[in-house]
Structure 1
Amino acid sequence: MKMGSISVLVIAVLVIGFGGHAYKKHQEKQKNIEEAEQVLAELKSLEQPYKDFIEQSRLASATPRVQLSPVVARMQDTLKVVAEMHSSGCAMGVQVTLRQSIENMKDGFLSFMAHDDIKSDAQTSVATSQISEYQTSAEACAIVMKKRLEDLQK
């Protein structure tokens, strides 16, 4: 009888231990899913400021030097929006790249307005390469996060 009680107790401990482990793994999986979804949402939130920035850059490129102030001010507003966003994971690097690109382009147009064409050319050239880097890193981050979600939801 005593041996039977011990067996039942051991089995109960094993069942509770296994259940606790399974629950912990489930919680970890849910946390990873939420993190991947969060990164994808953060990437999505960068899309509109990026589109605004591209439009502002096109407009600035077609605007006479003496009329650039309002366009550069809108670019500064977009920069502020991007700088105030919170990102995590690979979206953080994407956000930083976009912020740097906007900042360099804005500074390039400010240099152009100050008649410093050499500095302006250098800054806008850097900004242009950062735009390409932003696009590539945003795509790569999205692909990785979607694949991670897919794997976690199996």
Structure 2
Amino acid sequence: MHAELRRRHPGPFFDGLYVTWDDLRRDPEETPAGPAVHEWRFEESSRFERHLVTWHVLSRGGVAVRGPSVAELGIHTDRDALARRTRENLATYWTPTGRERLAAAVAVGSRGSRRLPDHVGRARRHPAPPHSRDGRDRVQDRRG
């Protein structure tokens, strides 16, 4: 299947993971590694994209192709844990060294590579964990 996708649509990559409905109902940190495709490479046992950001994105915008609807499925979400893990990531990964890695990756990307670091993709999908909503579905920071 993935070889056929690559043949018909060579770019962009068709990345993804395979999960069960039960996997989606649990904290992704507690789910086992499983099948995934990343940059056309299939892996039988991978942690690729098995994290709270993915679960939150699916819970908010997922589309059921077969089986229960997203609402009926009860995808595990934990906004407090997502906010905490995002802050931890910002405090550890986004150090000066992390910013240098990102700048280097973007520079390589501007020379022809379409690959950007995975965390850049995450930022595009879910820019920040919201602390509150203002009724118009816009994210507000802690100051209101």
TM-score category (smaller protein): under 0.3
Give 1 or 2: higher helix fraction: 1
Q: Which has the larger radius of gyration?
A: 1
User: TM-score normalized by structure 2?
Assistant: 0.25
